[in-house]
Amino acid sequence: MNHAVATHAGAESIIRMEAVNKWYGTFQVLTGIDLSVRTGERIVICGPSGSGKSTLIRCINRLETVQKGKIVVDGIELTAGGKNVDAVRAEVGMVFQQFNLFPHLTILQNCTLAPMRSRGMSKEQAEEVAMKYLTRVRIPEQAHKYPSQLSGGQQQRVAIARALCMSPKIMLFDEPTSALDPEMVKEVLDTMIGLAEDGMTMLCVTHEMGFARSVADRVIFMADGKIVEQAPPGEFFGSPKHEKTKQFLGQIL
Ligand code: ADP
Ligand code: MG
């Protein structure tokens, strides 16, 4: 399988999850998750609704905590207690299905808020960085508008730019195109492909299988809180092994 995007994945693991188990009350949402992600690796996570995909990636920036197991992100042990939250949030950017922009702030202000508050940047510095990334996602001219004045695709590109303004080492995407009108999906995927080309470590929950084929180094299939199967895209789509994977791919392809 020829990847459209050359791989940048290095040898060392930037994310390590070992025997991770998580419960919401009595419901076990993650069961025995072992996952290592190398620096520069691009991972696509797919699986049926409710299989624990969002929960899994939210554990990586500690939006969720786990009861059992170990999670280490760029040398920061997340399972050691609460004090590492800020450190890890500064390294891990996240983009959600629903954009989550602050509606009362302009696009520029959305992008400068966190760098000023948690990176200690001056307003001028933060605005310069913000304009750099808004240019990169090709909407610098929208900087002084409010989120509601932008299309969904534009808002999602702002959300990506906003995350990049913190210079993250890892980017998490949770179904970033699922809430978009079909004609806007491509512009967001193209932005993500650009990030991949630049060597960003990325974990993307998505059912955009074209994206997975051309960008992912590895596709992970989850069901019932477990990693059921994982393989490079050629193998994953060409010869899925597990019955649940076959069933799932049969439904979405
Ligand atoms: P996915 O992203 O694969 O659809 P999620 O990680 O969102 O799956 O959710 C997995 C399961 O955990 C679902 O059954 C969901 O209802 C449940 N769940 C998710 N978040 C919570 C929560 N905060 N409290 C209780 N149950 C939750
Ligand atoms: Mg989800």
Strands (E), the chain: 13-24, 27-38, 42-46, 68-73, 76-77, 92-95, 170-174, 201-205, 218-223, 226-231
Q: What is the mean pLDDT of the chain?
A: 94
Confidence at residue 1, expressed as pLDDT on a 0 to 100 scale:
41
Closest ligand to Cα 29: 1
Coil, helix or strand at residue 78? helix
Distance from Cα 54 to the centre of ligand 2, integer Å: 4
**Which residue is closest in CA terms to ligand 1's atom 25?**
24
Low-confidence ranges of the chain (pLDDT < 70): 1-8, 11, 81-82
pLDDT in tens, 24-52: 999 999 999 999 999 999 999 999 999 99
For residue 111, CA distances in Å to 68, 106, 154, 161 come to 35, 9, 14, 7
Closest ligand to Cα 222: 1
Rounded to 10 degrees, the C-alpha dihedral 239/241/245/249 comes to 20
Confidence at residue 108, expressed as pLDDT on a 0 to 100 scale:
98
Does ligand 1 come within 6 angstroms of the Cβ of 52?
yes
Confidence at residue 14, expressed as pLDDT on a 0 to 100 scale:
97
Confidence at residue 86, expressed as pLDDT on a 0 to 100 scale:
82
Distance from Cα 247 to the centre of ligand 2, integer Å: 19
Closest ligand to Cα 55: 1
Confidence at residue 12, expressed as pLDDT on a 0 to 100 scale:
83
Q: By the 8 A CB rule, do 152 and 184 touch?
A: yes
Distance from Cα 64 to the centre of ligand 2, integer Å: 13
Does ligand 1 come within 6 angstroms of the Cβ of 26?
no
Total length of the chain:
253
Confidence at residue 11, expressed as pLDDT on a 0 to 100 scale:
67
Q: Which atom of ligand 1 is nearest to the CA of 54?
A: 2
Does ligand 1 come within 6 angstroms of the Cβ of 58?
no
Provide the residues around ligand 2 (an ion) whose CB is within 5 A. 54
Q: CA-CA distance, 155 to 137, in Å (whole number)?
A: 11
Confidence at residue 4, expressed as pLDDT on a 0 to 100 scale:
55
Q: Which atom of ligand 1 is nearest to the CA of 225?
A: 10
ipTM of the complex: 0.97
Distance from Cα 65 to the centre of ligand 1, integer Å: 13
Confidence at residue 133, expressed as pLDDT on a 0 to 100 scale:
97
